[in-house]
Structure 1
Amino acid sequence: MMMSRLIPAVLAVLVATGPLAAQEAVTTVGDGPTPFVVRSTTDIDIIQPALDAFADANPDLAVTYEQWGSIPLFEEAERACDGNAQAADAVWSSAAHLVVALVNRACARPYSSSLTNALPDTRRWRNEVWGLTQEPAVIIYNTDRISGDEVPLSRFALLDLMRQRPALLQGRIATYDIEDSGLGYLFAYADSLEATTFGSLLEGLARSDAIATCCSAEIIDGVSRGEYLIAYNVLGSYVTNAAPANVGIVLPEDYTLFLSRAYMIPRRAANPEAAERFLDFLLSDQGQAILAAAGLIQAGDPVDQGLIPSARRSIPLAPPLLVALDKSTEQQFFARWRDAFSQAPPP
């Protein structure tokens, strides 16, 4: 018999020490005799259909799915790699650069199948990390307050809007806090490599007294309520799943970053065979259809998405992502970010 139970995040605060303190929520699906533990950044309500289908197809498993923030998940996986914490059987994170770093530290087990081998090179590395989704970084806006020619269809247009309507946007633009969000840092770092506008954009956000905050759901809700009028570099899958009718979505036409959530099987996993089964399930036609229905895959023709083909930028799962984690690079990037977001708004 299938069973599913959700343990609210508030229970985590009852545990003073140990990994549960960093979990946001936990669900268990299936009641088979063999435990299988997945730690992931994907919200439970989004991934639940995939968990249900996988458990139905694998009645021998009791699947425990733990939802984490990207940075605590990385830190716990590092501890597990060193033998200082219990390893998960699978780790799956939107902060792809952090998973690549774990693989580079020899924290992962290799695996190969016809389905993993069919992935493009940008979505697998060393047969130890695999990108299972395709999700854009988007601009969102409150359609009640921003409309017509004012909708910023590119970073250049966003810069123009900040210059032309400073009073409207003062304190009303949001983005991820890159020191608290691994995903936010990854998007900002990728922007710094791609965009000639990055420096000007950072200065514009500073002039507008933009808000650096934590989470997709809070940002989307803030835009809908009018607390923010625009939010930059929000993960599009969360907008697709959660956005009210008055939240508009823009895939920037100068370029749009596409992220693949990175999956790995930890070297110390107690049940790596189940992790291999889950990986192949998520890459199967059935798994990909479930992920697409959840908004985690936008793999259509770029023209159909409002993009010219050259505007699509996939963030590759590859060693160059490790540069983002170089301590000197990271410290300099954070210092530049803090400087921008600590500047006083103009009179």
Structure 2
Amino acid sequence: MIRSRFSHFIQGAFASLCLWTAPVAAQEAIAQFAFPNTLTSTELLVRSTTDIAILAPALNAFVAANPRVAITYEQWGSNALYRDSRTACDGGAPAADVVISSGVHQMVDLVNRACASPYVSAHTTALPSARQWRDELWGITQEAAVIIYNTALVPDAEAPRTRFALLDLMRRESSRYRGRIATYDVERSGLGFLFAFMDSQEATTFGGLLEGFSRVDAVATCCSAEIIKSVERGEYLIAYNVLGSYVASVPHKNLGVIYPKDYTLFLSRALMIPRAAKHKEQAAQFLDFLLSPAGQGILAKSNLVQHHGGVTSALPQSAQRFIPIDLTLLVAMDQHRRASFVEKWRATFGKGAR
């Protein structure tokens, strides 16, 4: 009986989403999740950068396991969510109960500004050190930054398996790929900035990549869904540093996915319980659910936990680079470093930014 009622509710949740996709605030979409025919005692407000459709199975499972807790889920862009969370932290706006963002460097900055509430449980302490910080920030996923390409238009032999191969491709085939290689715009996307900044710290190829992107008039754009659909349509032939979980979650026929063999970045979306959250106990319940074996299993089915087995099993341990949730990410928030980085980015993508 519970299963059938729950299945019926999934359809209802997305009916709400369709009605709420044009909010007046900075959020991009809103959906509500509640167990049907149950008297709700708590309305948990979750603000997140994760697409509603991708996280919906976990949200539905949580309210089914906790029927007296309903969730209002707001989907935001990472930069807007960071600004909103800072304003709420300073008392200038109502705070969410839970904030989840792929802009992990921004989340570390919020914690460093004393915007978070501490919490400790068996699930949080079981996390590896790279996925937790100060008992106030926790990584709930593991997602790879990948290269994607249109398999109908890019010969398999040309598909770049490493950054060195991508560099060679842009140098040899600049006319064929002119205006048809894409990546995130670091000014519009907090996630895009983080991936590009980590590349600049990690790889000797970063300067060459910028030169190559400039050579082929590469396009800097936003956001994941837009880039993926554009590659599938053939508007772009190749896209660099795309979040692999979104690629795997969108039905497609002609997309190839590459985990770069020189190194592949892995990101953990960070969850914070704001200091001013109204429902901290239920927020902690939600966190524990996501970190539990059941929650991680659901996230894995939604492709938000990617590094265990599957296509990544062929990637050697030495090629896996996990972005740590710790104080070192504050380097990416330094205003002078950011300004210098963005200036170089603008010089590279001046013609191709959208």
User: Normalized against structure 2, the TM-score is what?
Assistant: 0.92
Letter in 1 for 2:306: Q
Specify whether residues 265 and 187 from structure 1 end up closer, same or farther in structure 2 by C-alpha distance, changes over 3 A only: same
Paired with 1:75 and 1:201, the residues of 2 have a C-alpha distance of 30
Q: Match of 2:30?
A: 26
Q: Match of 2:205?
A: 197
1:153 lines up with 2:161 in the alignment: yes
RMSD, aligned CA: 1.5
CA contact (8 A) 2:96 2:274 kept: yes
Q: CA deviation at 1:147?
A: 2.2
Specify whether residues 310 and 276 from structure 1 end up closer, same or farther in structure 2 by C-alpha distance, changes over 3 A only: same
1:276 lines up with 2:284 in the alignment: yes
Paired with 1:11 and 1:205, the residues of 2 have a C-alpha distance of 34
CA contact (8 A) 1:25 1:68 kept: yes
> Which of 133-142 and 294-303 deviates more?
294-303
Could you say what secondary structure the match of 1:254 adopts?
A: coil
Q: CA deviation at 1:298?
A: 1.1
Q: CA deviation at 1:121?
A: 0.4
CA contact (8 A) 1:81 1:267 kept: yes
Q: Match of 2:293?
A: 285
1:67 lines up with 2:37 in the alignment: no
Q: Which runs of 4+ in 1 moved over 2 A?
A: 1-5, 7-11, 301-306
Paired with 1:303 and 1:68, the residues of 2 have a C-alpha distance of 30
1:133 lines up with 2:144 in the alignment: no
Percent of matched pairs sharing the same residue: 57
Q: Match of 1:18?
A: none
- Residues 173-322 of structure 1: matches in 2 within 5 Å? 173-301=181-309, 304-322=312-330
Q: Match of 2:43?
A: 35
Q: CA deviation at 1:148?
A: 2.7
Letter in 2 for 1:58: N
Specify every segment of 5 or more residues in structure 2 that has no aligned partner in the other structure, as ranges. none
CA contact (8 A) 2:178 2:216 kept: yes
Deviations 1:85-107 (A, max 9, x none): 00000000011111110000000
Paired with 1:76 and 1:304, the residues of 2 have a C-alpha distance of 35
Could you say what secondary structure the match of 1:156 adopts?
A: helix
CA contact (8 A) 1:137 1:233 kept: yes
Paired with 2:106 and 2:21, the residues of 1 have a C-alpha distance of 26
Specify whether residues 340 and 9 from structure 1 end up closer, same or farther in structure 2 by C-alpha distance, changes over 3 A only: farther
Could you say what secondary structure the match of 1:168 adopts?
A: coil
Paired with 1:99 and 1:73, the residues of 2 have a C-alpha distance of 10
- Residues 98-113 of structure 1: matches in 2 within 5 Å? 98-113=106-121
User: Normalized against structure 1, the TM-score is what?
Assistant: 0.94
Q: CA deviation at 1:39?
A: 0.3
Q: Match of 2:65?
A: 57
